[in-house]
């Protein structure tokens, strides 16, 4: 692929490298299979960046899943990043950070690598006539702290830098993102895209690449193009799907500011009934062929009698990572029915016994027992009606 660009900046987001327990697979040298798969996705992204001629490779936060990854995990990530021939910028995300203190994060050891810069406070770098602004995660309402952070980042810009691109760890919100859930509307770690656009436009920032929320989205307002880059490696069944929302390497081309996108193979998660998974077979095969590990959780049900179907579909697709779980709805109903049966039986029989014992206190025990037995039959009959 040839491009007319003089330079390029590649960025990825929310890699969440770590030894995730679910579908973790076999551990070797401190990394489980799922962790190795994610490191592999990162390696593909670095190679794609290099092939696109990128001079800078940026991670827009949450490179790691926790602030205390094991030394083996840090080493694996460091090996990949140090293989990039140019500059690497690591913007601190909420998952990377232990506290707001400088160097109190999982990224700090990687900052010791020659070509790697860690941004745990706002700052900038230059490539030709572009200012690259880096703004890490901060707690509190993004709309309150972001303007100040942008101004701090802009303080270091070159006088001849006439255009700016922002790399930040903050969710980009419109009425669709977050599925319109109330939590998304209230989330402090996200900002309304129209508000962000006006903040950027007034500061000469025309391109935004953001981490934090995991589904890729692109917005444009007031000449400001804003990309929620999306997770490079879905973190589990919360990020289920086979589409293009994940595995994205976003590329900014200079000097004009054009953008493009490269998709790399990354782990994929699917959760659905065997019947519906079977309908996705062609798409699943395509992802498997690309090198995506595909993890499937079949939702099976006694009522539908599709437990055997799950095994059949898994075998047909040649899946190596799958399991069947009983439909939560069915489990809940079964549990509720059992609990209410147990409860009503206990309470009704208990109160009958108490009632008979009180009312017939002066009668012989044999008489009380006979009345109680008769009452129980009547109540049970009543219940069966």
DSSP code string of 319-378: -SEEEEEE-HHHHHHHHHHHHHHHHHHHHHHHHHHHHHHHHTTTS-HHHHHHHHHHHHHH
Query: Closest CB to Mn ion among 18 and 254?
Result: 18
Query: Closest CB to Mn ion among 130 and 137?
Result: 137
Q: How many CA atoms lie within 13 A of 16 on its CB side?
A: 20
* Residue 70: strand, helix, or coil: coil
Q: Tokens representing 152? A: 């701090």
Give Cα separations from 349 to 109, 352, 366, 380, 384 (angstroms).
Answer: 67, 5, 18, 10, 15
Question: Do 85 and 116 form a contact (C-beta atoms < 8 A)?
Answer: no
CB of 14 to Mn ion, least distance (A): 4
Question: Do 13 and 61 form a contact (C-beta atoms < 8 A)?
Answer: yes
> Interhelix angle for 142-155 vs 193-201, to 10°?
30
Q: Which stretch binds Mn ion (CB under 5 A): 12-20, 23-31, 97-105, 257-265?
A: 12-20
Which residue of 31, 38, 48, 62 would you call a contact of Mn ion, by CB under 5 A? 62
Query: Closest CB to Mn ion among 212 and 309?
Result: 212
CB of 214 to Mn ion, least distance (A): 6
Q: Which stretch binds Mn ion (CB under 5 A): 46-54, 58-66, 274-282, 317-325?
A: 58-66
Q: How far apart, in whole angstroms, are the C-alpha atoms of residue 118 and residue 136?
A: 10
Q: Which stretch binds Mn ion (CB under 5 A): 57-65, 187-195, 315-323, 346-354?
A: 57-65
Question: Do 298 and 273 form a contact (C-beta atoms < 8 A)?
Answer: yes
Q: How far apart, in whole angstroms, are the C-alpha atoms of residue 24 and residue 271?
A: 16
Identify the DSSP state of 111.
G
Burial class, 214, CB count within 10 angstroms (exposed 0-12 / middle 13-18 / buried 19+): buried
Kindly determine how many residues on this chain lie close enough to bind Mn ion according to the rule CB under 5 A. Answer: 2
Site residues for Mn ion, 308-367, by CB under 5 A, read none
Question: Under the criterion CB under 5 A, does residue 120 sit at the interface with Mn ion?
Answer: no
CB of 218 to Mn ion, least distance (A): 18
Query: Closest CB to Mn ion among 64 and 298?
Result: 64
CB of 58 to Mn ion, least distance (A): 15
Q: Output phi, psi for 74, to 5 deg.
A: -60, -40
Name the nearest CA neighbour of 120 among 155, 96, 87, 154: 96
Q: Which stretch binds Mn ion (CB under 5 A): 60-68, 98-106, 191-199, 263-271?
A: 60-68
Question: Under the criterion CB under 5 A, does residue 117 sit at the interface with Mn ion?
Answer: no
Question: Do 109 and 121 form a contact (C-beta atoms < 8 A)?
Answer: no
Q: Which stretch binds Mn ion (CB under 5 A): 8-16, 80-88, 303-311, 340-348?
A: 8-16
Query: Closest CB to Mn ion among 14 and 227?
Result: 14
Question: Under the criterion CB under 5 A, does residue 14 sit at the interface with Mn ion?
Answer: yes
CB of 162 to Mn ion, least distance (A): 32
Query: Closest CB to Mn ion among 14 and 117?
Result: 14
Find all residues with CB under 8 Å of 341, minimum gap 6, and list them. none
Q: Which stretch binds Mn ion (CB under 5 A): 7-15, 65-73, 156-164, 315-323?
A: 7-15
Q: Which stretch binds Mn ion (CB under 5 A): 3-11, 56-64, 181-189, 273-281?
A: 56-64
CB of 63 to Mn ion, least distance (A): 10
Query: Closest CB to Mn ion among 62 and 306?
Result: 62
Residues that bind Mn ion (CB under 5 A): 14, 62
């Amino acid at each position: 692929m040839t491009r007319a660009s003089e330079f390029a900046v590649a960025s990825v987001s929310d890699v969440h490298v770590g030894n995730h327990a679910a579908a973790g697979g076999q551990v070797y040298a401190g990394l489980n299979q799922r962790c190795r798969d994610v490191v592999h996705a990162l390696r593909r992204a670095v190679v794609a960046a290099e092939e696109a001629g990128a001079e800078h490779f940026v991670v827009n936060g949450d490179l790691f899943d926790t602030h205390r990854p094991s030394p083996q995990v840090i080493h694996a990530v460091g090996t990949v990043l140090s293989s990039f021939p140019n500059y690497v910028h690591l913007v601190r995300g909420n998952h990377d950070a232990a506290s707001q203190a400088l160097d109190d994060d999982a990224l700090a050891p990687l900052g010791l690598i020659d070509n790697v810069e860690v941004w745990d406070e706002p700052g900038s770098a230059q490539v030709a006539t572009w200012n690259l602004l880096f703004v890490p995660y901060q707690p509190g309402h993004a709309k309150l702290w972001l303007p100040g952070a942008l101004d701090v980042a802009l303080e270091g810009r070159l006088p001849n830098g006439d255009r700016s691109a922002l790399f930040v760890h903050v969710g980009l919100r419109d009425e669709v993102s977050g599925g319109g859930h109330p939590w998304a509307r209230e989330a402090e770690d996200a900002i309304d895209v129209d508000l962000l656009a006006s903040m950027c436009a007034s500061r000469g920032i025309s391109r935004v690449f953001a981490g934090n929320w995991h589904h890729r989205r692109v917005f444009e307002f007031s000449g400001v193009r804003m990309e929620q880059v999306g997770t490079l490696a879905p973190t589990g069944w919360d990020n289920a799907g086979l589409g293009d929302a994940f595995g994205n390497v976003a590329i900014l081309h200079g000097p004009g500011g054009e953008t493009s996108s490269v998709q790399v193979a990354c782990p994929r998660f699917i959760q659905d009934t065997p019947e519906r998974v079977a309908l996705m077979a062609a798409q699943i095969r395509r992802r498997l062929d690309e090198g995506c590990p595909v993890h499937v959780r079949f939702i099976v049900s006694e009522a539908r009698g599709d437990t055997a179907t799950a095994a059949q579909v898994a075998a047909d697709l040649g899946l190596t990572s799958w399991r069947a779980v009983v439909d939560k709805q069915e489990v809940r109903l079964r549990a509720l029915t059992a609990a209410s049966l147990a409860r009503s039986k206990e309470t009704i029989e208990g109160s009958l016994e108490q009632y008979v014992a009180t009312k017939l206190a002066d009668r012989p025990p044999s008489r009380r027992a006979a009345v109680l037995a008769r009452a129980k039959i009547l109540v049970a009959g009543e219940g069966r009606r």
